[in-house]
């Protein structure tokens, strides 16, 4: 497995991910963004050329002087074509350099029930403005895997994390709290998170016999549950310190 986390199954094994092993997007995500950049540039070129030649065709319909048409073509299309590719390559080349650097800053971690820390999902993104977010499993209301046409083309997918703080669910057009994107093993990762959420039913972190959902829990209830989780964690750490000092 390379630094981007290639592989059909989670490697290191799923147990290591449960203890907070950091992994990164697949290199296929980089290829996807490169492909989109090239397709976007070519699409703009086709639209520009179509509009240009369509306009000249209308001009030619009213004035069938072929010599004048060639003069207009050389005077306008050749400069437009040249400047388009100069500007396009000036944007495309830096994008090809910056995309791998940007994606290499992505870090993901899923911490399961280990007995020493709160189960959570950690996401780090950003090149200049770096964002690090910790999403407790207690606060998650919905987990969804999503693959677009380009994702399927490159064999990757995304795991969307929804919480009560963001309106709507994955099937209602709601914006996810966080997204783990560009993962080859996205289905396995989604199932692992779901299994860890179900474990909360019988763990010391759980306050009720059911995992709270967006329909039966408010933001205040989830916040209270998270604070009580933190209190329980601090109590366990304090007990361990006391036992060590005896």
State pTM to two decimals: 0.67
| CA–CA gap between residue 30 and residue 100 (Å, rounded) | 6
CB atoms within 10 A of CB 83: 10
Phi, psi dihedrals of residue 16, rounded to the nearest 5°: -70, -40
Backbone angles phi, psi at 171, to 5 degrees: -100, 0
Residue 135, strand partner residues: 121
Q: Which residue has the higher pLDDT, 210 or 111?
A: 111
Per-residue pLDDT of 104-139, as tens digits, reads 999 998 876 554 556 788 899 988 888 888 888 888
Residues 6 or more apart whose CB falls under 8 angstroms from that of 136 comprise: 118, 119, 120, 226, 229
In this predicted structure, which of 30-34, 75-79, 95-99 has the lowest mean pLDDT? 75-79
Percent above pLDDT 70 for the chain: 64
């Amino acid at each position: 497995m390379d630094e981007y986390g290639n592989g059909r199954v989670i490697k290191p094994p799923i147990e290591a991910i449960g203890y907070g092993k950091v992994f990164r997007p697949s290199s296929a995500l980089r290829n996807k963004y490169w492909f989109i950049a090239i397709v976007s540039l070519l699409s703009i070129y086709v639209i520009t050329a179509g509009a240009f030649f369509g306009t000249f065709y209308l001009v030619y319909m009213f004035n069938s002087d072929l010599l004048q048409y060639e003069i207009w073509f050389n005077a306008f299309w050749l400069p437009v074509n040249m400047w388009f590719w100069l500007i396009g390559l000036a944007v495309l080349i830096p994008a090809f350099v910056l995309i791998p650097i940007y994606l290499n800053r992505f870090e993901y971690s899923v911490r399961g029930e280990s007995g020493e820390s709160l189960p959570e999902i950690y996401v780090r993104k950003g090149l200049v403005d770096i964002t690090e977010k910790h999403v407790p499993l207690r606060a998650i209301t919905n987990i969804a895997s999503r693959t677009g046409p380009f994702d399927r083309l490159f064999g990757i997918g995304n795991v969307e994390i929804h919480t009560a703080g963001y309106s709507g669910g994955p099937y209602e057009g709601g914006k996810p709290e966080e997204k783990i994107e560009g993962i080859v093993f996205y289905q396995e990762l989604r199932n692992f998170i779901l299994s860890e959420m179900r474990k909360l039913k019988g763990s010391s972190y759980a306050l009720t016999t059911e995992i709270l959902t967006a329909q039966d829990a408010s933001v205040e209830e989830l916040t209270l549950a998270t604070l009580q989780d933190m209190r329980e964690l601090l109590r366990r750490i304090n007990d361990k310190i006391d036992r060590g000092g005896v």
